[in-house]
Structure 1
Amino acid sequence: MKSIHSSYDALIIGFGKGGKTLAAYLANQGWRVALVEQSPLMYGGTCINIACIPTKSLIHNAELGKPYTESIHEKDQLTAALRQRNFNMVDQSPNATVITGKASFVSSHQVSVRLTDTQEDILIEAERIFINTGAKPIIPAISGLQQSQRVFTSTTLIGQTQLPARLVIIGGGYIALEFASMYAQYGSKVTILDRSTQFLPNEDRDMADAVMAVLVSKGIRIEQAVNVDEIIPDGGDRQDTVVYHTQAGDRQEVQASAILVATGRQPYTEGLNLSAAGIDLDAKGYIRVNEYLQTNVPHIWAIGDVNGGPQFTYVSLDDYRIIRSQFFNYKPHTLLDRNLVAFSLFTSPPFSHVGLREQEALAKGYLIKVATLPAASITRAQILNETEGLLKCIVDADTDQILGCTLLCANSSELINLVQLAMRARFDYTVLRDTIYTHPSMSEGLNDLFARVL
Structure 2
Amino acid sequence: MFANFGSKVTILEAASLFLPREDRDIADNIATILRDQGVDIILNAHVERISHHENQVQVHSEHAQLAVDALLIASGRQPATASLHPENAGIAVNERGAIVVDKRLHTTADNIWAMGDVTGGLQFTYISLDDYRIVRDELLGEGKRSTDDRKNVPYSVFMTPPLSRVGMTEEQARESGADIQVVTLPVAAIPRARVMNDTRGVLKAIVDNKTQRMLGASLLCVDSHEMINIVKMVMDAGLPYSILRDQIFTHPSMSESLNDLFSLVK
* Same topology, TM > 0.5: yes
Equivalent-residue separation in structure 1 for 2:162 and 2:142 (angstroms): 35
Secondary structure of the 2:193 match is helix
Asked whether 1:191 is paired with 2:10, we answer yes
Aligned length: 266
Q: 2:42 aligns with which of 223, 229, 234?
A: 223
Residue type of the alignment partner of 2:62: H
Deviation at residue 330 of structure 1 after TM alignment: 4.9
Look up the SS of the partner of 1:352 in the other structure: strand
Q: Is 1:184–1:219's contact at 8 Å kept on the other side of the alignment?
A: yes
Find the counterpart in structure 2 of residue 254 from structure 1.
Answer: 66
Bigger radius of gyration, 1 or 2?
Answer: 1
> Segments of 4+ in structure 1 off by > 2 A?
327-331
2:166 matched residue in structure 1:
354
Structure 1 equivalent of residue 61 of structure 2? 244
- What is the CA–CA distance in structure 1 between the aligned matches of 2:83 and 2:139, rounded to whole Å? 29
Cα separation, 2, equivalents of 1:392 and 1:413: 14
Per-residue CA deviations over 1:398-418 (Å, capped at 9, x if unaligned) read 010111011000000000000
Output one character per residue of 1:131-153: Cα deviation in whole Å (capped at 9) or x when no partner: xxxxxxxxxxxxxxxxxxxxxxx
Which letter does structure 1 place at the counterpart of 2:81? T
Q: TM-score, normalised by structure 2?
A: 0.97
Question: Do structure 1's residue 429 and structure 2's residue 241 form an aligned pair?
Answer: yes
Query: Contact between 2:82 and 2:97, CA under 8 Å: does it hold in 1?
Result: no
- How far apart in 2 are the matches of 1:278 and 1:330? 26
> What CA distance in whole angstroms lies between the structure 1 residues aligned with 2:245 and 2:178?
21
3-state SS, counterpart of residue 204 of structure 2:
strand
Question: Percent same amino acid among aligned pairs?
Answer: 46
Shift in Å, 1:331: 7.1
Task: Name the counterpart of 2:99.
Answer: 287
Q: Deviations over 1:111-148 (max 9, x none)?
A: xxxxxxxxxxxxxxxxxxxxxxxxxxxxxxxxxxxxxx
Coordinate RMSD, CA, aligned = 1.2
- Matches of 1:431 and 1:339 in 2, distance apart? 19
Q: Please list the CA deviations of residues 365-406 of structure 1 after superposition, one character each: whole Å capped at 9, or x if unmatched.
A: 111011001111100000101110010000010010111011
Distance 2:255 2:57 in 1: 46
- Structure 1: state its 5+ residue gaps: 1-181, 247-251
1:295 counterpart letter in structure 2: T
SS in 1 for 2:2: helix
* Structure 2 counterpart of 1:336, one-letter code: D
**Secondary structure in 2 aligned to 1:258?**
coil
1:58-113 deviations in whole A, cap 9, x for unaligned?
A: xxxxxxxxxxxxxxxxxxxxxxxxxxxxxxxxxxxxxxxxxxxxxxxxxxxxxxxx
Q: Give yes or no for contact 1:324–1:330 (8 Å, CA) kept in 2.
A: no
Measured in 1, the distance between the counterparts of 2:262 and 2:143 equals: 34
Higher strand share: 1
Letter in 2 for 1:184: A
Deviation at 1:298, TM superposition (A): 2.2
Listed as ranges, the gaps of 5+ residues in structure 2 are: none
Matched, 1:200 2:25: no
Query: What's the counterpart of residue 160 of structure 1?
Result: none
Aligned: 1:451 with 2:257: no
TM-score in terms of structure 1 length = 0.57
Match of 2:175 among 363, 369, 375: 363
**1:393 aligns to what SS in structure 2?**
strand
> What does residue 337 of structure 1 align with?
149
